[in-house]
């Protein structure tokens, strides 16, 4: 992966293909490899004629780490996304985020509207506004030396995921403290770009897609049938709907 620098972080990124640019923002504890390459998104989008760009968020993957929670506020991570587009001399792009990346995409659409042509929120619905439950136990699970002491199912899932991806658990614990910042309904309504909200029907983290889409002036909801938070990412019906959405809203 190549790197660029922003706010003192060296951020690793990857791009493939030619055509309209689409910037992909991965989820919490994930990476470009885990969220976008392994599930086939780079292949799907590049073969459909798009220039696909993704980077590892600060604290994740091959990018620099920080143990300061303030470094992981969504506005600052959205600044990383805008900085990458500027680094690549891209003035406007489609932006798709998954889970935490969807929240970052929303901040990018609000704070850099001239750079965001369309926005796709995967794995995060009305939870972007109402919250997605108590995640404090996840931070504790990430920090404990002994994972067997964690009993809460969601905390167990994210600890196992962090171990599987060999992530810096202390950096992720700092990230989870501040990256969950909510967006008020009236601010969501300020997202004027064409938007798509896609959530699995068995996802118990994201919140329903419909209520979030209803808050925006030009948004559609899509239910990823029979998929939970982890399995929605690479679902073929989700990919097909994204390609349809992008074709409907060219830059």
The domain spanning residue 79 has which CATH number? 3.40.50.1820
DSSP state of 195: E
Q: What is the pTM of this model?
A: 0.95
The answer as to whether 122 is a domain residue is yes
The answer as to whether 223 is a domain residue is yes
The answer as to whether 129 is a domain residue is yes
Q: How many domains does the chain have?
A: 1
Residue 151, pLDDT score: 87
159-180: average pLDDT: 92
The answer as to whether 177 is a domain residue is no
Q: By mean pLDDT, which of 139-153, 190-204, 210-224, 234-248 is the weakest?
A: 139-153
4 or 131: which leads in pLDDT: 4
Residue 115, pLDDT score: 98
Range of the domain at 128: 2-134+185-248
Residue 153, pLDDT score: 87
Q: Read off the tokens for 14.
A: 């990857």
> Please, which pLDDT band fits residue 157 given cuts at 50, 70 and 90?
confident
The answer as to whether 154 is a domain residue is no
Distances (CA, A) of 72 to 51, 177, 181, 184, 202: 27, 8, 10, 19, 28
The answer as to whether 63 is a domain residue is yes
The answer as to whether 164 is a domain residue is no
214-232: average pLDDT: 97
Residue 135, pLDDT score: 77
Helices (H) and strands (E) in the chain, counts: 11, 8
The answer as to whether 175 is a domain residue is no
Q: By mean pLDDT, which of 21-25, 157-161, 227-231 is the weakest?
A: 157-161
Q: Comparing C-alpha atoms, which of 27, 24, 29 is closest to residue 162? A: 29
E-strand spans in the chain? Answer: 2-6, 9-16, 20-25, 50-55, 93-98, 116-122, 195-200, 219-224
179-194: average pLDDT: 97
Q: By mean pLDDT, which of 61-65, 73-77, 131-135, 140-144 is the weakest?
A: 131-135
Residue 223, pLDDT score: 98
| Nearest-angstrom CA–CA distance, 24 and 120 | 9
Quote the mean pLDDT of the chain.
Answer: 96
Residue 179, pLDDT score: 94
| Nearest-angstrom CA–CA distance, 191 and 238 | 22
Residue 72 scores a pLDDT above 90: yes
> Please, which pLDDT band fits residue 122 given cuts at 50, 70 and 90?
very high
Residue 136, pLDDT score: 80
Residue 133 scores a pLDDT above 80: no
């Amino acid at each position: 992966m190549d790197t660029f620098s922003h706010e003192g972080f060296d951020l690793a990124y990857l791009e493939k293909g030619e055509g309209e640019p689409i910037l992909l923002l991965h989820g919490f504890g994930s990476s470009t490899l885990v969220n976008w390459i392994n599930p086939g998104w780079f292949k799907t989008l590049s073969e459909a004629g798009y220039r696909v760009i993704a980077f590892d968020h600060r604290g994740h993957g091959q990018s620099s780490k920080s143990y300061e929670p303030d470094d992981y506020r969504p506005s600052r991570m959205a600044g990383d996304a805008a900085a990458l587009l500027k680094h690549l001399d891209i003035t406007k792009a489609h932006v798709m985020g998954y889970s935490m990346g969807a929240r970052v995409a929303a901040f990018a659409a609000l704070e850099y509207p001239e750079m965001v042509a369309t926005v796709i929120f995967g794995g995060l619905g009305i939870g972007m506004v109402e919250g997605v439950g108590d995640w404090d136990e996840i931070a504790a699970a990430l920090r404990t030396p002994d994972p067997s002491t964690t009993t809460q199912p969601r905390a167990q899932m994210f600890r196992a995921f962090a171990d599987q991806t060999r992530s810096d658990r202390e950096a992720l614990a700092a990230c989870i403290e501040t990256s969950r910042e909510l967006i008020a309904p009236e601010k969501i309504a300020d997202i004027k770009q064409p938007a798509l909200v896609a959530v699995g029907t068995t996802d118990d983290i994201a919140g329903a897609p419909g209520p979030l889409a209803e808050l925006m002036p030009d948004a559609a909801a899509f239910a990823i049938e029979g998929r939970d938070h982890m399995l929605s990412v690479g679902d073929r019906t989700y990919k097909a709907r994204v390609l349809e959405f992008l074709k409907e809203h060219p830059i």
